[in-house]
Chains A and B, each alone.
Chain A
């Protein structure tokens, strides 16, 4: 019985720190009424040296169009494994996309930058339409896009 209680205490102690190392973060992306089809959006992160770290979300499920998300495509070579399990539908003009992800605490206030590429069928590609540093001070601050994205913000 004592051994069982000790084991339970140990696993609980190990579990709590892990839970505290990540938190839910919501990305809110509002698109302009650009008068076209649904937009493909790629959300990905680079480090302080501008080196690609990983992807956070892909709005748009057909990989043959990913070449038009030029920043993401150049960083990943179009590797779809980078967005397995984090892919959803593309987003229509004028709509608002809210994504809530469980992200590691180490991602914030550590020099990481979030990039958002956008592309729309038969319209110009817009790589790096949103580029924001990931830090506590930037949470809740809307950032304007230059073509398809009206504004973007993240909340913790």
Chain B
């Protein structure tokens, strides 16, 4: 009980210490905020500066214009260009990326069993 009472007194004192000076400022009208809110004969009408909805639509349109992405630099020994998409940091073989799973890169698993491949050497690739 004593602890609770002490805590209550402390918080009340803290609130009073912060609130009373601010309240005093509002009362005297010396801050900038009360001056803006006061009506006057020469006040300018409010003007809409920006419309967030329009910006969002533009962003949507720009995203749709992008087509196939080319290049990722996740293969150290193959030629490629940077992929500057900012919503896909997935590497080949990773699951759960953007909904679709990227395929496993050559050498990490056996080629698909589609009857086209022999059982000899794994695929080799070279870019010049």
A positions within 8 Å CB-CB of B: 18-19, 21-24, 36-40, 45, 53-58, 60-65, 68-69, 78, 80-92, 95-104, 106-107, 119-123, 125
CA distance A84 to B93 in the complex (A): 8
A–B pairs, 28, beta carbons within 8 Å = A18-B119, A22-B117, A22-B119, A37-B69, A37-B70, A37-B71, A37-B83, A40-B69, A53-B116, A54-B115, A61-B72, A62-B69, A62-B88, A62-B92, A63-B100, A63-B103, A65-B70, A82-B103, A83-B103, A84-B112, A85-B106, A85-B123, A86-B103, A86-B112, A87-B105, A88-B78, A92-B80, A102-B121
Q: A55-B112, A85-B111 provided; 11 other pairs, C-beta below 8 A? A: A61-B75, A62-B69, A63-B103, A69-B68, A82-B112, A85-B107, A85-B108, A88-B105, A96-B127, A98-B125, A100-B121
Q: Which size class do B's interface residues fall under?
A: 35 or more
